[in-house]
Chains A and B, each alone.
Chain A
Amino acid sequence: MTAMLSIADLDVRYGAIQAVRGVSLDVAEGEIVAVLGANGAGKTTTLKAAVGLVPTARGEIRFAGKPITGRDTEDIVIAGMTLVPEGRRVFPSLTVTENLRLGAATRKNAAEIEQSRNEVLSLFPILAERGHQAAGTLSGGQQQQLAIARALMSAPKLLLLDEPSLGLAPQVVDDIFDLILRLKARGLTILLVEQDAVAALDIADRAYVMANGRVVMSGDAATLRASDEVAHAYLGAHPDQSLAEPA
């Protein structure tokens, strides 16, 4: 398998604060890779650096073999990597249809855009029903679907998902994770940042665990799932709750 995304020795600073320290991670084509860790571990910052929304202090980021360190976000999205940001961040006063149209802003071919639209709407039938509704009036789960659908409209090769389960009801979280698996089945490569380690390890092929801006552990999802050390030290699980036996 070829590396779709490869981050080497990444440092990111916000003024005096170093949010990410020497992080290296790879995502191979067709994989779901999870990045786990507590709040403030540097997960979101790593994703933002990958798409150029925060500047890289040190290190190299390569996408599909080409260096993209320091490139503009707009160029990275056009190259085929996009981010569904934490908190969904749909454009609230724009309609569902308008949000989706903006997702395809970089594409020119009207027929291909229409095809993507149909695919996306078949994945998320609720969005077809709500086309004329302002995105801000959708429920949290629907907004998360719209945020993912909007990202898919750019026809990405690699999708970065930041905390897609945040603030959603457990049943809705299951739906979202099912959907991520279906996207993988359609050939999309996915880098998933999650605090809900149990759910993320269930669908991921591999995972990295971050703490204090560093990668502290990495490996197969199955191996990490079985590891008590992961559960207790890095994932904020209670001592009586083992990841090996998810509730």
Chain B
Amino acid sequence: MGYFLEQAGNALSLGGIYALLAIGLAVVYSILGLINFAHGALMTLTGYILVFTASAGLPFAVGAPIAVVLVMVSAVLLERIAFRPVRGASGATMLLTSFAVAVLLQLGFQLFISTRPQVVPLPAMLTTTLDLGGFAIGVNRIISVIVAVVVLVALNQFLKRTILGLAMRAAAEDFDVTRLMGIRANRVIATAFAISGLLAAIASVLWIAQRSSVDPMMGLVPVLKAFIATTLGGLGSLQGAVLGGILLGVIEITLAAYLPQAALPYQGAITLGIVILVLVVRPQGLIGPRKEAVK
């Protein structure tokens, strides 16, 4: 029982991070039809900002919010510089643009920082483990689950209660008609990128809180997983992204915890096999998208 609860904590913590990343991808995709692979570079950037703020003597609790704000701003700048010129172009053009941006940023990190992993100093509190009578769980994982839940609830409130949030949901369904409401296209799109940057940065802080290092490729794997999660949940659906993210976390941890030793090397293959099975039965994902995204 203790082992099960421990693994459940791990699954929720990993699933929560995937969910945050997956929503970040889905928010942009639902409005622009752009699958932003540069999302991973935003995660990596967060890590390096944490390294710099730490070396400047700032504690993690100060560095983390700074990193989140700077990465949000970077995401908006990325849209202005790289994605606005190809707005309305074909999906393939936008996809290639996002790959180009991802590669450029990654090369930048390699050239100007280092190809080797940099240590992100974490407060001792994050690396301790709580004994909850029969099972132990890392404080970082507890915080990770709490932060993910709080962020998801806040995002949901934003999308339901504010005009800008409603406009984002509307733009995902019908961009032209959203403009007919007098809502500026650029404002909606900038907000989508700001939210995706915010979520990437928060996910990155939680990710790093469990690893305490950053390298130029750090964001690549989690964002690939997040992409799988959005596909699993239903590309373009925000609820689907959350569901897919948590489900993927649960599948991965369950396999890691309960597969026999000999089968462990195939954990990734089995995970993807399950995802493929789901997509064979439901090609539109668990929660199908409402409609194709508009330029």
Contacts and interface: CB of A to CB of B under 8 A. Distances in A.
B184 interface: yes
A106 B181 contact: yes
A93 interface: yes
Interface stretch (B87-95, B145-153, B170-178, B268-276): B170-178
A75 B172 CA distance: 21
Interface string A102-145: 11011000000000000000000000000000000000000000
Interface string B155-195: 00000000100110110011011111111110000000000
A80 to B, nearest CB: 10
A142 B177 CA distance: 18
A154 interface: yes
Interface residues of B, number: 19
Given A89-B174, A91-B173, A92-B173, A101 B180 contact: no
B170 A94 contact: yes
A102 B183 contact: yes
A94 B182 contact: no
Nearest to B184: A74
Interface string A151-164: 10010000000000
A105 B167 contact: yes
Contacts of B178: 102
Given A101-B163, A102-B163, A102-B166, A91 B174 contact: yes
A73 interface: yes
Given A102-B166, A102-B167, A93 B181 contact: no
Interface residues of A, number: 24
A78 B181 CA distance: 9
Contact of A74 (B173, B177, B182): B182
Interface in A59-98: 72-74, 77-78, 82-83, 85, 89, 91-94, 98
B290 interface: yes
Contacts of B173: 91-94
Given A94-B166, A102-B167, A89 B177 contact: yes
A51 B183 CA distance: 14
Given A74-B184, A74-B185, A102 B179 contact: no
A198 to B, nearest CB: 28
Interface in A169-219: none
B184 to A, nearest CB: 5
A102 B170 contact: yes
A105 B176 CA distance: 15
Contacts of B183: 74, 102, 105-106
A53 interface: yes
A90 B144 CA distance: 38
Contacts of A73: 176, 179-180
Nearest to A89: B177
A235 to B, nearest CB: 28
Contact of A102 (B181, B185, B290, B291): B181
Contact of A154 (B177, B181, B290): B181
Interface of A: 51, 53, 72-74, 77-78, 82-83, 85, 89, 91-94, 98, 101-103, 105-106, 150-151, 154
Given A93-B169, A94-B169, A154-B182, 7 more contacts: A74-B183, A74-B185, A91-B173, A91-B174, A98-B169, A150-B181, A151-B180
Per CB-CB distance, the 9 closest pairs between chain A and chain B, nearest first, are A106-B182, A77-B182, A73-B179, A91-B170, A105-B181, A102-B181, A89-B177, A91-B173, A74-B184
